[in-house]
Amino acid sequence: MKKLWAVLLVLALTGSAAFAKGGAAGKSSGGVTKGMDRKIVLGYSQSGAESEWRTACTNSVKAAAEEYNIELVFTDAQQKQENQLKAIRSFITRKVDIIAFTPVVSSGWEAVLQECKDAKIPVICVDRTIDGPDTLFTAFIGSDFKKEGVMSADWLVAYMEKIGRGSKDPLNVVELQGTVGAAAATDRQIGFMEVLAKYPNYKVIKTQTGNFTRAEGKQVMEAFLKSDGDQIDVLFAHNDDMAIGAIQAIEEYGRKPGEDIIIVSIDAVKGAFEAMMAGTLNASIECNPLLGPPVMETAVKILKGESVPKKVYSVDNTFDQSNAAAAFPTRKY
């Protein structure tokens, strides 16, 4: 069943018309589901606008709401949980039909989600998961972040072997973490370190959050370079925006990103493909942000009283300098 949903989600994420417009609320039906004589109203609390990935996710949600003719009440929390709590409570007061949100951090949602339950408003977790029982939400649509961390480390170990800097030499790794407490950061780190634990010559000498932004990624990398500049062999960045900021810092420091310092990051946004084609980024693990269609499809099903899977994961691929140029022309974000 899970595989079937993964396939269906891939169809949605790749914009397959069949899946994307499949919901009963497609354009022709004016966004109305059976028993409803008006448009569905969906309240969405987006976590912020911190990265190229986040922008692609927001654009996908807005476009899909149009496509499904659903009235979208959109709020941007600017990466602050208190803004999300306020937004969700305003959705309850407004009596929206359904609520979706991307939790900026994983903890602190029990009370507000219980209020949604009490108000009989279903909730879809988009992109990031939350701590606590999954009875607090109806569905999760996003990526498997731990797997992305594992894929990053697996790629790194294989690549270092391939270029002859593999499992014998001591290799110093620095890590740019995403937002502290965000599932995407926590789980990517868990996956990455789980693999690296099997290779004792890899040593993480510095790790710090760059909050998923280009500017902070650059600032933190500058500090890493100041303290350990010539000792750094590898950078693992939890997203491409921080990796791109770090690349600028490495160049300004006088070392070659992608050669002196091997860099692996996550998201596979356009900027990452451009950096891989320029030779300054070595690999990026995909994390598909085109979540709009499956979110709207799921919202319609929930409101029609149909059952939906509790968790649906997008399929993520690995891109590096060997396949970036070929894939770039057809990338959707």
Residue 91 host element (H or E): helix 81-94
Q: Is 267 in the site for ligand GZL (CB under 6 A)?
A: yes
Strand positions, DSSP E, the chain: 41-46, 71-76, 98-101, 123-127, 139-142, 171-177, 202-209, 234-237, 262-267, 283-286, 311-313, 318-320
Q: Is 239 in the site for ligand GZL (CB under 6 A)?
A: yes
Binding ligand GZL by CB under 6 A: which of 44, 46, 50, 284? 50
Sheet holding 123-127, edge to edge: 71-76, 41-46, 98-101, 123-127, 139-142, 311-313
Q: Is 285 in the site for ligand GZL (CB under 6 A)?
A: no
Q: Is 143 in the site for ligand GZL (CB under 6 A)?
A: yes
Q: How far is CA 70 from CA 25, 38, 117, 165, in A?
A: 7, 10, 22, 53
Q: Which stretch binds ligand GZL (CB under 6 A): 35-43, 45-53, 67-75, 133-141?
A: 45-53
Number of residues this chain uses to bind ligand GZL (CB under 6 A): 15
Contact string (CB under 6 A) for ligand GZL, positions 179-198, x = contact: -----x--------------
Q: Which stretch binds ligand GZL (CB under 6 A): 48-56, 69-77, 157-165, 195-203?
A: 48-56
Do 235 and 176 touch, CB atoms closer than 8 A?
Answer: yes
Binding ligand GZL by CB under 6 A: which of 54, 206, 214, 218? 54
Distance CA 44, CA 143 (A): 18
Nearer to ligand GZL, 8 or 182 (CB): 182
Do 228 and 258 touch, CB atoms closer than 8 A?
Answer: no
Nearer to ligand GZL, 53 or 319 (CB): 53
DSSP symbol at 288: -
Nearer to ligand GZL, 31 or 142 (CB): 142
Nearer to ligand GZL, 55 or 321 (CB): 55
Which one, of 118, 112, 124, 50, lies nearest residue 84 by Cα? 112
Q: Is 56 in the site for ligand GZL (CB under 6 A)?
A: no
Q: Is 209 in the site for ligand GZL (CB under 6 A)?
A: no
Which one, of 178, 91, 182, lies nearest residue 129 by Cα? 182
Provide, rounded to whole angstroms, the least separation between the CB of residue 179 and ligand GZL. 7
Q: Which stretch binds ligand GZL (CB under 6 A): 51-59, 62-70, 152-160, 305-313?
A: 51-59
Supply angle C-alpha 85, 308, 295, rounded to 5.
50
Binding ligand GZL by CB under 6 A: which of 9, 12, 69, 127? 127
Provide, rounded to whole angstroms, the least separation between the CB of residue 112 and ligand GZL. 19
Provide, rounded to whole angstroms, the least separation between the CB of residue 209 and ligand GZL. 12
Q: Which amino acid is at 17?
A: A
Q: Is 153 in the site for ligand GZL (CB under 6 A)?
A: no
Binding ligand GZL by CB under 6 A: which of 77, 125, 266, 268? 266
Binding ligand GZL by CB under 6 A: which of 44, 53, 137, 155? 53
Distance CA 204, CA 176 (A): 11
Distance CA 258, CA 263 (A): 6
Tell me the β-bridge partners of 263. 235
Tell me the β-bridge partners of 148. none
Provide, rounded to whole angstroms, the least separation between the CB of residue 133 and ligand GZL. 21
- By CB under 6 A, name the binding residues for ligand GZL: 50-51, 53-54, 127-128, 142-143, 184, 212, 239, 241, 266-267, 287
